[in-house]
Structure 1
């Protein structure tokens, strides 16, 4: 199965939000506890640039997922480090597309003048942890019980990947 990529445009934001919102209820992927709106994500989208883009994953012209690169910590010394986020439409999960998406993530990152990718993954999200670790990410640290959702505490793993 092969996926294509292209830069996201503002017209793609409703689909980006739709895919994102499919992850909220699971408490596996995002710390948002309620679905977000296109309006609430517009500023986030507009903050992305050529240096910190959002890409879509496409299959037969249909958007099946997306990837974003975001500035880490906002200080100049961290300019070559980015936070990555990867989301797939729920009907395309578990089919090996995540594997291909992480490979594309690395290819795109190599064009962005960055050296380090960081993925912040809930420690109980074993599928995502396995996906990143199987693709060369290593655990840089773990923040224990820093998120609270539905009266439960959740830890966050920080995974990193060094580009050559």
Structure 2
């Protein structure tokens, strides 16, 4: 399936939040333990800037099936050429190579966004995401051992990165 990538709109925020909330019970993709509200994500959404740190809606026909966003890394000026990447895909569309399409789209946009490096924070037990990023040239830049507790289990957070310039 070929996707279309468009800058996300505020009207799409409910679907973006719904896709994010689908990931919570699986305990692979987020440290949130309960669903988040649309209202709680409005400030997060407003921080995206199509010219600098975009949030793209991933669409099949007119159906939003996922999203990929680039956010400031660590929020200080010296890190301005580095962004954190997040990808979330609707459950019914998992295992259809949409994550790969998202990365391909992001990589093509990096020069116009003046980005030289991407980082991803991925739970160390999230093998599908670790594999996707490794396949695309990301390596482990760090590990935060046992920093999260999910359903009584300690989980580590891998810091993945890739330089582009």
TM-score by shorter chain over 0.5? yes
C-alpha distance in 2 between matches for 1:111 and 1:64: 25
1:131 maps to what in 2? 132
1:57 maps to what in 2? 58
2:37 maps to what in 1? 37
2:69 maps to what in 1? 68
Q: How far apart are 1:59 and its partner, in Å?
A: 0.8
C-alpha distance in 1 between matches for 2:5 and 2:56: 6
* Gap runs ≥5 in structure 1: none
C-alpha distance in 2 between matches for 1:114 and 1:146: 28
CA RMSD, aligned part only?
A: 0.9
Q: SS of 2:25's equivalent? A: coil
1:155 maps to what in 2? 156
Q: How far apart are 1:109 and its partner, in Å?
A: 2.5
Q: Structure 1, residues 18-74: CA drift from partner, whole Å, max 9, x if none?
A: 100000011100000000010000010011113111001111121110011100111
2:5 maps to what in 1? 5
Q: SS of 1:111's equivalent? A: helix
Q: How far apart are 1:95 and its partner, in Å?
A: 1.2
Q: TM-score, normalised by structure 1?
A: 0.97
1:22 maps to what in 2? 22
Q: How far apart are 1:110 and its partner, in Å?
A: 2.8
Q: How far apart are 1:97 and its partner, in Å?
A: 1.6
Runs of 4+ in 1 over 3 A off after TM superposition: none
C-alpha distance in 1 between matches for 2:111 and 2:134: 19
**149-158 or 115-124: bigger deviation:** 149-158
Contact persistence 1:123–1:154 (CA under 8 A) = yes
Q: Structure 1, residues 92-150: CA drift from partner, whole Å, max 9, x if none?
A: 10011211111112112232111000010000000000001001111111110001122
Q: SS of 1:99's equivalent? A: helix
C-alpha distance in 1 between matches for 2:10 and 2:103: 23
